[in-house]
Structure 1
Amino acid sequence: MSDWHPSHYARWFPVLCANRLERAPVAVTVLDRPVVLVRDESGRAFALEDRCPHRHAPLSAGVATGGGIACPYHGWRFDSQGRLCAIPGMPPECALPQVRVRAVAVREHDGLIWLRLDGRDDGELPAMVLRNPAGSRRFLWQTQWRAHVIDAIENFLDPMHTHWIHPGLVRRGGAREAMTAHFESTDTGFSVSYRGQPQQSGLLYRLFESPRESERALFDAPGSAQIEYRYLNGGIVRISLHFTPISAEQTAVFATLHVENRWAPAWLVRALVWPLLKRVNDQDARMLALQADNLRRFPPVRGASTQLDLVRPWVETFWITGAAPEDAPSREVRLLL
């Protein structure tokens, strides 16, 4: 699938960790559309289509000009709204041509820069982003997966692969226990609550966790997914991945870790937890790349599914049609996890 539903251009997507945007323009791509990000002299981020309307040079190769950006080819200068401000060499008595660069809406929140391609600064960011208390973030990272956004989202929210892809790290294959998964649609996506497993069999749990009160997977359209652990001692850990389609074959992934009511300084997370989470990421990225390569080898066919595949139908319907499934009833599934 390479043609995106038109409604997705009116949704917010993260595109860059905010600390990666300094003085130099940065090129990003969302839904196959190239965009340039720039900071003005006050530090505010703005975004324009990454194309000068004169001779189509990439503006991302140009320079920031305080309140705008100058094209690298002939120096045409545009302001943060894409309006043409100056053309070097143009006599002062000559009027500038009535051209402009398409502007993209920008928001900056909790360390991430978000874009809305239709240029309208309307609507809310995903609900789970706004629920995180200020100061609770311990970790922020971005990467890319060679996968379609549907496959990337399913991978993160699917616990059934963890015994095989992350053996010993997340779960051990020989330590499956009966659990109940309860799927329920929400106003912005869906949730899956897992009951019957207060602890996990992998190394990550044994090193860094304690008995759980609950485990829940959340999805907020268009591409924000979260695993939330609540502990009997009152602590809360939320691992969130935000997925932004670069193209049909590449997805940008932004990972955050938020912690409440639990001692977990950022330096400790970086030193001890991050190396293990990076290994989990690399294992998932490798499998998704293998999956993507194999999908190209075979004609497009719908994959087989069972009752264990709880999240795929909702996510797939949303990304193909641009809307949540009309009939996504609550359901409960027994599984060995």
Structure 2
Amino acid sequence: MAELDHWHPVLLSHELRRKPRSVRLAGREIVVFRTSSGGLGAFTDRCPHRSMRLSEGWVEGDRLVCAYHGWRWAADGRGDIPATPAARPCARRDDVFDAVERYGAIWVKRAGAQATFPRFDAEGYVPAGVLRHRAAVPFELALDNFIEVEHTPFVHFMLGYSLDQMPQVEAQVTLSDDAVQVVNTGPKRPIPRIVEKMFRIPHDAKFVVEWTARFSPVHAIYDHSFINPRTREVVTYPLRSAVFFNPVGPESSEIYTFLFASLGRWSEFGLGSLIWPPLRVAMDLELRLDMRLLSRLADKRGILKGNVLGRFDKALVASRDRIDRIYRGQAAEATPEAGDGHEATRAARRLPLAAS
């Protein structure tokens, strides 16, 4: 299962204390534990001896102890047996995972896999928290929702554009071998004048939503800005986000959103701590609205055949191909073309869902 060869966030840092925790990723149950010295370990949540859930056990020193017979496992998969001291059991390599702690989360990948840890911080931004949400759809359909702005007038109060402005929104798509980049530019939706003054946003500014999707693992990085139509000056929005899409089961996924703040001149006056919390609360609400919308889909299998695709769906189709090729290591199959509202003419395929 190639999905497990990529780094995925599976727990918030504060959730992993002395007790081992079980998580689910791409249909696999994985136990994650923290050693007494602060190190991390992760295995398939099943003791190689007699299949007890290792998450039912506890940690002694640098080893995870099985609650059934007391067999003890180090993070590298080597074990010892209290009842047979001379024995040297070893877990299967496929059941051992690498684990690291970064950006306020615990990340895992299959041990020995050569995936590079994703980089998504940026100069001038500082980490400002992590949000996690559960989506009642496969992760492919969650990604579909996050990489187009056509739904934003009907779902969001802060993100995206107003309905009457959508015809004016331009979507510039740039494709590379391992990424899909989209820059959406259009009139900003109405926001309170006090907010415009706080962040020096012209009342008639253009709102720019730029995102780049990558596929090892599947995630998208978002930057927002405003453009003064007279001076062409760019006003950076004090929010950057990196959204990771984890497959959980055939009809469920987890969304981890890493938030970064750039408060600019507000930090100079010591007001950064006052400005950022409301933005974080607003982002959490916006994401909850997405989750509620996704739960209402009539068909969660992800079948594209017969769907009518529009001008904002080009990135969606391109991303599917890269999920197959990069994330799953499969040869890409034919997908419908995105057009201007006409039915797809090429052969459609069923979305490959996460293994159960």
Q: Normalization by structure 2: what TM-score?
A: 0.77
- In structure 2, the CA distance between the partners of 1:284 and 1:261, relative to structure 1 (3 Å rule), is closer
For residue 36 of structure 1, report the CA deviation from its aligned partner. 0.7
Quick one: which of 268, 271, 276 aligns to 1:269? 276
1:279 lines up with 2:285 in the alignment: yes
Instruction: Work out the percentage of aligned pairs sharing the same amino acid.
Output: 20
Change (3 A) 1:168 1:81: closer
Please give the secondary structure, in 1, of the residue aligned with 2:283.
Answer: helix
2:115 paired residue number = 123
Structure 2 contact 81–88 (Cα < 8 Å) conserved? no
Q: 1:314 aligns with which of 299, 318, 327?
A: 318
- Shift in CA distance, 244/76, structure 1 to aligned 2, threshold 3 Å: same
Gaps of 5+ in 1: 1-5
Q: 1:124 to 1:204 in 2, by over 3 A?
A: farther
Amino acid in structure 2 at the alignment position of 1:283: L
- Choose which of 157, 174, 194 in structure 1 pairs with 2:184: 194
Post-superposition shift, 1:280? 1.7
* Cα deviation 1:169-220 (Å, max 9, x = unaligned): 75433444512211012353111012343x3335799577535684311111
Corresponding residue number in structure 2 for 1:96: 87
Q: How does 1:122-161 map to 2 (within 5 A)?
A: 122-127=114-119, 129=120, 131-133=121-123, 136-161=126-151
Specify the alignment match of 2:309 in structure 1: 305
1:116 is paired with a residue whose SS is: strand
- SS of the equivalent of 1:246 reads strand
Paired with 2:71 and 2:194, the residues of 1 have a C-alpha distance of 56
Find 1:255's aligned residue among 254, 257, 262. 257
1:107 pairs with one of 87, 100, 103: 100
Deviation at 1:247, TM superposition (A): 1.4
Amino acid at match of 1:195: T
Higher relative contact order (CA 8 A, sep 6+): 1
Measured against aligned partners, the alpha-carbon deviations of 1:89-140 in whole angstroms (never above 9, x if no partner) come to: x155xx32634252101222222222112x115332224x2x4348611221
Within the alignment, does 1:9 sit opposite 2:4 as a pair?
yes
Task: Quote how far apart the aligned CAs of 1:304 are.
Answer: 2.6
Determine helix, strand or coil for the equivalent of 1:281. helix
1:223-244 Cα offsets, whole Å, 9 max, x none, are 1112202353456531221111
Query: Is the contact between residue 149 and residue 161 of structure 2 (CA under 8 Å) also seen in structure 1?
Result: no
Where do 5+ consecutive residues of structure 2 fail to align? 227-233, 341-356
Count of aligned pairs between the two proteins: 314
1:138 alignment partner, SS class: strand
| TM-score of the superposed pair, with normalisation by structure 1 | 0.81
CA distance in 2, matches of 1:299, 1:112: 29
Summarize the Cα distance change of 1:154–1:202 in structure 2 as closer, same or farther, 3 Å threshold.
Answer: farther
